[in-house]
Amino acid sequence: MASYEPDRLSPAQVAAMRRSLRNGRAAMTRRSLLRASTGGALALGGLGALSACGIPAAGKTEGGTAADDHSAEEKTVSFSNWTEYMDVDDSGKHHPTLDAFTERTGIKVKYTEDINDNNEFFGKIKPQLAAGQDTGRDIVVLTDWLAARLIRLGWVQKLDPSNLPHAYANLSGQFRSPDWDPGRAYSYPWQGISTVIAYNKKALDGIEVKSVSDLLDNPKLKGRVGFLTEMRDSMGMTLLDMGKDPAKFTDDDYDAAIARLQKGVDSGQIRRFTGNDYTSDITSGDFAACIAWAGDVVQLKADSPDVDFVIPDSGYLTSSDNMLIPNKARHKTNAERLMDYYYEPEPAAELAAYINYVCPVDGVKDALAKIDEDAANNPLIIPDKAMQAKSHSFRSLSSKEETAYEAKFAKLTGA
């Protein structure tokens, strides 16, 4: 097992956390900008798909620490998630998909929106996990890098594939085998998060933007370009533009990408680094183009005819928020049943239609067309195979790398 992470965050990591809390993805309410729509039925992908594109064997065999599983006698499951990351009914008080799960299984879901930031939540559960105690949670939803950390620390339980037939069969290919959890032995995606280029057609006034190079090198865009305060998003997109794979880059590659962005800062080409507040900049035209999160762009396009997006030929970055079962969770089987439920057609469709992030469940498009044709045809929600092929992930970082990289990025952004 890899070495444990340090107990204390470096100053650069603290700065990154503060950026995230202030205006990064942590500051986003995942439904605040997105429009709700109704759910519907999908066609279930067959289990036979496993023979054609089965998930590779996990590279890690040791699991976390299990507790006695009380699922049979305690018909409950505790689910911790981010805010505004679940479908709600018209009253805003009930979650239709969770209600349907309870009605079918008799398992009551204690659903809590108590995750506002990855680092903050890690600090909340770390003392219990480090002490080998139950956190009181059966499922937690964490972004890639923190999911990777908990797996490295041995603080989450290995999943039982026999309780996850739909997840095993229907997980989209682009999410099947991240380097931090080969074969998805410990996690399954809740939703995917894509990073793309957004632009304002009116502000561009005929200027063509197809790549990060266009953002950084076209003098006509000077002072009207935005990048994100989230290191992995801005650096990942820049590395791709430079012909480097974010899943395999070296220290020298990272430094070259920093230098490329530093030139854009020094010349005034980059107006500023932002969190979710870029939405007002791109809508108003203060930004002619910027690095953006696809979940926002879906709604911005619907509300503003001037806003659109482009996927660079070099590719785009995709991360995911992931469901995991902490050590000592009392209801592991119930948790796995709930995880698997969201890889069934109907609940997956209802969730995707409501949230508008990247659905990690294969075979959704035809059914979504019956619910919302625009959503079904939107590659930011249901990527087609060509778009999936352009998807890249930012590789896992060691503690030493994360400290060094965040420090360099913080200096670049002035954080």
Instruction: Tell me what pLDDT residue 49 has.
Output: 32
Copy the structure tokens of residue 136. Answer: 């009181």
Instruction: Specify the pLDDT at position 162.
Output: 97
- How far apart are alpha carbons 229 and 241 in whole angstroms? 18
Q: Which residues contact 383 (CB under 8 A, 6 or more apart)?
A: 172, 174, 194, 358, 391
pLDDT bracket for residue 63 (50, 70, 90) = low
Contacts of 287 (CB under 8 A, 6+ apart): 200, 203, 224, 225, 226, 271, 278, 281
The arithmetic mean of pLDDT across residues 223-252, rounded, is 96
Cα angle 87-329-152, degrees, rounded to a multiple of 5: 95
Evaluated on CA atoms 8, 190, 20, 29, the torsion sign reads negative
Contact status, residue 145 vs residue 193, Cβ threshold 8 Å = no
The overall longest dimension of the chain from CA atoms, in Å, is 67
Residue with more model confidence, 25 or 280: 280
SS3 280: helix
Q: What is the pLDDT of residue 93?
A: 81
Burial class (CB in 10 A: 0-12, 13-18, 19+), 63: middle
Residue 330 pLDDT: 97
Q: What is the pTM of this model?
A: 0.78
Instruction: Encode pLDDT of 278-311 as tens digits.
Output: 999 999 999 999 999 988 898 888 889 999 999 9
Q: What is the pLDDT of residue 67?
A: 73
Question: For residue 92, what are the contacts with CB-CB under 8 A and spacing of at least 6?
Answer: none
- Tokens matching residue 348: 């997956």
> What per-residue confidence (pLDDT) applies to 364?
80
Spatial separation of the C-alpha atoms in residues 362 and 364, rounded to whole Å: 6
pLDDT at residue 149 in the model:
92
State pLDDT tens for residues 133-176: 999 999 999 999 999 999 999 999 999 999 999 999 999 988 99
Q: How far apart are the C-alpha atoms of 17 and 282, rounded to whole Å?
A: 24
Taking residues 380-404, report their average pLDDT: 91
Residues in the chain: 415
Q: Is 271 exposed, middle or buried (0-12, 13-18, 19+ CB in 10 A)?
A: buried
Condensed to tens digits (0 to 9), the pLDDT of residues 91-123 reads 888 899 999 999 999 999 999 999 988 888 999
Rounded CA gap, 79 and 336, in Å?
11
Most confident of 5-19, 43-57, 248-262, 344-358: 248-262
State which H helix or E strand residue 285 sits in.
none
CA 168 to CA 381: how far, in whole Å?
21
**Phi, psi angles (nearest 5°) of residue 188:** -135, 140
